[in-house]
Structure 1
Amino acid sequence: MNLTAIIPLIGLICNISGIPGLSLGVLYHGEVARFENFGYQDVAAQVPPDKDTIYVVASLSKAFSSALAGTLVEDGLLGWDTPVREHLPGYQRDEKDSAFNATVADILSHRTGIPGPDGYWMLSNGKVAFPRSDFVKVFNSFPTVRPIRTAFIYNNYAYELLGQIIEKVSGMSYGDFLRHKIMEPLGMSRTFDTRVPSIVANIAKPYAALQNRSAYELDMPLVRQDGLFSAAGGVRTSVSDLLIFYRALLDASTSQLPKHGTQHGRHTERIPNNPLKQLAAIWNAMISLPFSSLREHSYALGWTRAQLPSTFGLDGPQPWKPVVGAKPPCHLALYHQGIIQGYTSFTVLIPETQSAVVALANSGGLNEAGMLIVGAVLDTMFGTEIDAEAYTRLAKKGYAAAASRQGRVMRELEDGRKVREPTRPISEYVGRYYNALGNFMIEIRQDKDARGEGWVSFMGDDADTFKLVPYDADAFFWYLDHDDCVTRGRLPEYPAEYYIIRFVFEHGDATLRNPVLYWEYDEEGHSAEPFKRVQTFKDL
């Protein structure tokens, strides 16, 4: 395998995508084959990354979480079919709710039937709306929108619940248990949860990509001493450590999984005392992804499965995605993507060839650059001659789509406007509105000048305050263009409904009662939550 020919292509994709720095690692037939680094981990200081540079890997964390759960199952301390409520008494749902008996495997495979709206907990500048102690009851408050085990609904909240289960069963913090069970046995030294010691150096700074592809430095996301979302997306690590972890996973699969679908052909693990267990369960297909495909495309436990040739990604084929693995023989790919403020990541494992490719970037970028780059490396690994011009076109298509996405949503809202002036004076909407749990507040403000324009402020934070634009009778949308969105550390990926705030007024005895505010924060559009205007918490 010779990757030298596609190194210029990788650099070009980074430039098209607005990626300031990227680290690439390749495992081939069980051995580290190559590390490559591009751009800068620190743009201002012009410091390049290396194989040990630490990135926040977002949802690549889920593979660590399923592996940790596997060690607990192997030790008899946890079961894949154990109901969540047995370890988290705070998990409370009606007995008639199909998610009442949701299990560890259900939350690991995103098949609880409960939505997990990231737009609810993710505020600007990497802030989180709720304390960790509230996340179980917040999860309880979400409705079950599909019967359990019938649909794939991605849910980071569920992985937070898993993290709390791991900590309760192990008696350790997530980070300490990760170090004890996986890192130390495998010799990994560059991996942490959200609690990164201050002495750790060589950490890639997070950036947002503006529409002109320039990099804007952001605050570090999920730096928390309580470990919140470590299990879902808070792990930070390097390509060198990831290849150690992936090599151990692939090595464990040789003894724990039958080769070519038979009970014969298993091999002895090459890593002595390999701590990774339960691969047959972890990599087993649990639920199909919600798009049409002639080949398998499913979710396992912290991993997505795709039978090649295929595109990658939970949203199915798109015009800017390459079809990977078209050259026979077909392979099973296990992959995952990670996206969080300031970082993106993508990784693919090919168990049959004991190979893996991972790309870590310190920007959200303006297309799915990691997916493109990993796809090009995989096809090179499979012996396919890469069409650099075709990949360049895909990168440009992805850039055009991503750079215009937020603008398209704002234009859709502008085109849908039915009023140009508020139906009522802004003063009638002004106030603080709380959810039923009383832990999320939306404040409606009014300018004191002659125009008296309205503003919406999430959690009352100035960094999360946006101008309200009249949309319909007693409805507004909050305006946010691409550059303003990403420089606040927000993700420009939500539909138009996410930006609409609606008010419902009740009338009685000829007097106007308090309005109720409705916000459809669930990007899947399952429901809009009512927020009640209150003067004190006693009014909730």
Structure 2
Amino acid sequence: MKKIVLSFIFILAINPFFGQTAHTVNYKELDAYFAKMVNDWEVPGASIGIVKDGKLVFTGNYGVLEVGKKGTADKNTLYAIASNSKAFTSALIGMLVQEGKLNWNDKVKKYLPYFALYDPWVSDEVTVRDLLSHRIGLGTFSGDVIWYKSDLTSEEIIKRLRFLPKAYDFRAGYGYSNVMYITAGELIKQVTGKTWSENVKERILKPLQMNRTITSPKYLDAKGNYATPHARQNNKNIPVVWEDWEEIGALGGIITSVEDISKWMIFNLNNGIIGNDTLLTKETRNMVWTPHNNFIVDHTVKNDFDRHFSAYGLGWGLSDYHGRLRVGHTGGYDGMITEVALIPDEKLGVVVLTNGMKSPIRAATNYALDKMLGVKTIDWSAKLLHNTNQKNTEDSRISERKKKRVLHTKPSVPLTAYTGTYYADIYGNIIISLKEGKLRMKFEHSPDLSASLSHWHYDVWKIEWDKKHAWFDFGTVKFNTDNNLNVKSIDFDVPNNDIFFEELKPIKLEGK
């Protein structure tokens, strides 16, 4: 068992009990539960906050900032919150609607004439609301391989979206789309003349006095007190570098702390009002918290939340939780997983920030909400840890590929035949070269994805990444030849749940 360094702060009372409702909350017991949870899940560290009735009433900090080092977190420690930033993006759009600078039902092409998808009619019909509700027709995470660790601008990314395949009919399904939020960020820039980052700082962070919150890791050293992200490989946590998402910040660029994000949570629980200033009108609040994309709930069996509906609004997930509206989101960044959950009727909110990929965010959130609401709870940590471990055990994608390796085979062509420039419509150039007798792979816009290739079998080569990556590790490329053994294209196979290299499908350029 690794040693857990923990600290907790009780703000409202001298004793560990708080209760404006009929029940009391034992914060010492809650703190002990979280400490054990972090140990059990083997996540490097976590910072947890609870807001109630306009105040941050609990903060708990557990584990370490970085494995192998002694530093510990506090309520001001910075973490990347990734897709929890999407609610900030929808709020910015709402502010522009309030100012008459655009409308929710405006067509995207009105502001970004180059915007195009898999179908010309769909391209013309996509509205601002469509961008924010994951109903475009693209598959979940489709296109993330375009922007991931790349130096492409938002406009350059958007201009490549027309090559992404349709997954379902327009407005007839759900496909979580980061690239549509990139588009929303560029739309904000076009309307205001300022970047998403500048807008979020001026319109939200400054008024809410979120003074430690930043939109790029390049400001981390100036701020100090920040956690290190960790990948997880072979059941071990491995520190990885911070990735800069500022250019595509509208999908997930905010880096913040429990103290700062609590101000955002309280602001939303107060329906967009801060002090005497109404930053979000009633119309905006209702718009972003109205279901725009509904999910099926099985009404034939009982569930753990007494849930009757589940949906996505605009930048927020929506459901009912033991008879109350639950509003929230999760965030996945390279080496950091986070969650924000609000129960507006109770002026209650929970934030969980972690710096590892095997993360108990949902366990911590559910347990805290249950305790604060006084409803019957279960050992969420034990249940969800069991489910997570079982799922990981059952994930045979990599092991099955390794079993099918055919040893003692040889490539069908000389190594020099593989070299050249391969072009992917959705990305650009991928260069295969031969250096010191080894094949090398370089992504034109993503130097951090560079790798060596080692022979796997036949014309399949294993990718030996130069750097550790949080979302994937094992992968192969297959060089395809024609009947005359001329190398024509590459197929990627990198099993993971988030970055789909198989979408690239690069074709070898003649003469290069």
TM-score (norm 1): 0.78
The 5 Å alignment of 1:249-288 reads 249-252=268-271, 271-277=275-281, 278-288=284-294
Residues 39-77 of structure 1, C-alpha deviation per residue, up to 9 Å, x if partnerless? 222445522211111111111110111111110111111
The answer to whether the Cα contact below 8 Å between 2:420 and 2:433 also exists between their aligned partners in 1 is: yes
The answer to whether the Cα contact below 8 Å between 1:182 and 1:276 also exists between their aligned partners in 2 is: no
The answer to whether the Cα contact below 8 Å between 1:18 and 1:210 also exists between their aligned partners in 2 is: no
The 5 Å alignment of 1:351-390 reads 351-364=344-357, 366=358, 368-384=359-375, 386-388=377-379
**Cα distance, 1:534 vs. partner?**
2.4
The answer to whether the Cα contact below 8 Å between 2:213 and 2:255 also exists between their aligned partners in 1 is: yes
| Cα 1:492–1:435 shift into 2, 3 Å | closer
Find 1:232's aligned residue among 251, 264, 289.
Answer: 251
Return the alpha-carbon distance in structure 2 between the equivalents of residues 177 and 131 of structure 1: 17
Identity %, equivalent residues: 22
The answer to whether the Cα contact below 8 Å between 2:134 and 2:177 also exists between their aligned partners in 1 is: yes
Return the alpha-carbon distance in structure 2 between the equivalents of residues 274 and 187 of structure 1: 15
| Cα 1:292–1:170 shift into 2, 3 Å | farther
The answer to whether the Cα contact below 8 Å between 1:129 and 1:440 also exists between their aligned partners in 2 is: no
**Cα distance, 1:416 vs. partner?**
4.3
The 5 Å alignment of 1:303-382 reads 303-308=316-321, 325=322, 330-364=323-357, 366=358, 368-382=359-373
Return the alpha-carbon distance in structure 2 between the equivalents of residues 97 and 290 of structure 1: 28
**Cα distance, 1:156 vs. partner?**
0.9
**Cα distance, 1:422 vs. partner?**
4.5
**Cα distance, 1:285 vs. partner?**
0.5
**Cα distance, 1:332 vs. partner?**
1.9
Return the alpha-carbon distance in structure 2 between the equivalents of residues 463 and 144 of structure 1: 26
Q: What residue in structure 1 maps to residue 58 of structure 2? A: 34
Return the alpha-carbon distance in structure 1 between the equivalents of residues 481 and 146 of structure 2: 27
Return the alpha-carbon distance in structure 2 between the equivalents of residues 276 and 48 of structure 1: 36
TM-score (norm 2): 0.82
Find 1:201's aligned residue among 224, 237, 240.
Answer: 224
Return the alpha-carbon distance in structure 1 between the equivalents of residues 471 and 261 of structure 2: 25
Residues 480-532 of structure 1, C-alpha deviation per residue, up to 9 Å, x if partnerless? 7xxx89x7123149xx9xx453444334xxx5544122347796989754312
| Cα 1:384–1:217 shift into 2, 3 Å | same
Find 1:530's aligned residue among 497, 505, 508.
Answer: 505
Residues 53-104 of structure 1, C-alpha deviation per residue, up to 9 Å, x if partnerless? 1111111110111111110111111211111111112213476442432111
| Cα 1:339–1:523 shift into 2, 3 Å | closer
2:314 corresponds to 1:301: yes
**Cα distance, 1:397 vs. partner?**
4.1
| Cα 1:102–1:195 shift into 2, 3 Å | farther
Bigger strand share: 2
**Cα distance, 1:276 vs. partner?**
2.3
| Cα 1:122–1:191 shift into 2, 3 Å | same
The answer to whether the Cα contact below 8 Å between 2:360 and 2:381 also exists between their aligned partners in 1 is: no
Return the alpha-carbon distance in structure 2 between the equivalents of residues 434 and 290 of structure 1: 40
Residues 253-299 of structure 1, C-alpha deviation per residue, up to 9 Å, x if partnerless? 7xxxxxxxxxxxxxxx6732131230111011011247756631111
SS of aligned partner of 1:335 = strand
Q: What residue in structure 2 maps to residue 505 of structure 1? A: 481
2:462 corresponds to 1:478: yes
The 5 Å alignment of 1:389-408 reads 391-399=381-389, 401-402=391-392, 404=393, 408=396
Aligned length: 473
Q: What residue in structure 2 maps to residue 489 of structure 1? A: 469
AA paired with 1:516? S
| Cα 1:514–1:413 shift into 2, 3 Å | closer
**Cα distance, 1:382 vs. partner?**
1.9
| Cα 1:420–1:6 shift into 2, 3 Å | farther
The 5 Å alignment of 1:52-131 reads 52-93=76-117, 96-115=120-139, 116-117=141-142, 120-121=145-146, 127-128=149-150, 130-131=152-153
Return the alpha-carbon distance in structure 2 between the equivalents of residues 81 and 178 of structure 1: 22
| Cα 1:338–1:2 shift into 2, 3 Å | same
Return the alpha-carbon distance in structure 1 between the equivalents of residues 132 and 436 of structure 2: 46
| Cα 1:461–1:162 shift into 2, 3 Å | closer
2:422 corresponds to 1:433: yes
| Cα 1:231–1:211 shift into 2, 3 Å | same
SS of aligned partner of 2:33 = helix
**Cα distance, 1:163 vs. partner?**
0.9
**Cα distance, 1:153 vs. partner?**
0.6
Gaps of 5+ in 2: 1-24, 301-307
| Cα 1:293–1:4 shift into 2, 3 Å | farther
| Cα 1:391–1:204 shift into 2, 3 Å | closer
The answer to whether the Cα contact below 8 Å between 1:152 and 1:290 also exists between their aligned partners in 2 is: no
| Cα 1:426–1:359 shift into 2, 3 Å | farther
Q: What residue in structure 2 maps to residue 256 of structure 1? A: none
SS of aligned partner of 1:189 = coil
The answer to whether the Cα contact below 8 Å between 1:163 and 1:174 also exists between their aligned partners in 2 is: yes
The 5 Å alignment of 1:239-250 reads 239-250=258-269
| Cα 1:425–1:175 shift into 2, 3 Å | same
| Cα 1:7–1:209 shift into 2, 3 Å | farther
